[in-house]
Amino acid sequence: MTQPLLTPVPLPAGVSIRDAVPDDGETIATLVRELAAYERLEHDALATGDDFRRHLFGPNRAAEAILGERDGQPIGFALFFTTFSTFRGRPGLYLEDLFVRPEHRSMGIGRALIARVAQVAVERGCGRLEWAVLDWNAPALGFYGTLGARPLDDWTVHRLDGLELTRLAELAG
């Protein structure tokens, strides 16, 4: 497969990409709720601004976020965290969410956000950047293909949460 030729896309006037700060907790929560609505998962979007302040900026930081803004107003975000590949013996980054508000799409903002996450991965010596995409999300699948990303067809994501997670944890004694 031939890799696509990536060319920089200049951001529109007034658009900037920056690292999130603790005061962005509620903004991130709002953007996550908008993403959840787009993905038809509103019932799963329980996180609050306080959750993001605690887990993105607290002493036990679990993830990081970057924001896209236009004229100082939030228009998108990327949230990611460190993983580790035993096969490569190196860390990686997992992109948990990438979202741009619909009225700001197709202007290079999503590309700028994910490019910044890729830059962080390279700066930290990571061996990979990974993420999951809903099977029905053709626009996202197409967008990621333009970046040279490829689906991992041989892998199936599994999840434990709620009661099942609690029950399995209880087996540890």
Distance CA 41, CA 39 (A): 5
Residue 170 CB burial class (10 angstroms; 0-12, 13-18, ≥19): exposed
β-strand partners of 68: 17, 76
Size of the chain, expressed as the number of residues it contains: 173
The pLDDT value given to residue 3: 55
Sheet (strand 73-85) strand order = 15-19, 64-70, 73-85, 90-100, 129-130
The answer to whether residue 105 sits within a structural domain is yes
Residue 171 has a CB neighbour count (10 Å cut-off) of: 6
Contact 53, 45 (CB under 8 A): no
Whether residue 5 is contained in a domain is answered as: no
151 in any annotated domain: yes
Question: Taking the CA atoms of the chain, what radius of gyration do you get in angstroms?
Answer: 17
- We report the CATH number of the domain holding residue 127 as 3.40.630.30
Residue 3 placed within a domain: no
Q: Which of 77, 80, 143, 144 is catalytic?
A: 144
Place of tokens 């990081």: 64
Phi (first) and psi of residue 145, to 5 degrees: -60, -35
Residue 38 falls in the annotated catalytic set = no
Q: Is residue 54 situated within a structural domain?
A: yes
Q: What is the pLDDT along the chain (173 residues), one digit of tens a residue?
A: 455 556 676 888 999 999 999 999 999 999 999 999 999 999 999 999 999 999 999 889 999 999 999 999 999 999 999 999 999 999 999 999 999 999 999 999 999 999 999 999 999 999 999 999 999 999 999 999 999 999 999 998 899 999 999 999 999 98
**Alpha carbons 66 and 172: distance in angstroms, whole number:** 37
In this structure, is residue 76 part of a structural domain? yes
Domain that holds residue 76: 15-170
Count how many domains the chain has: 1
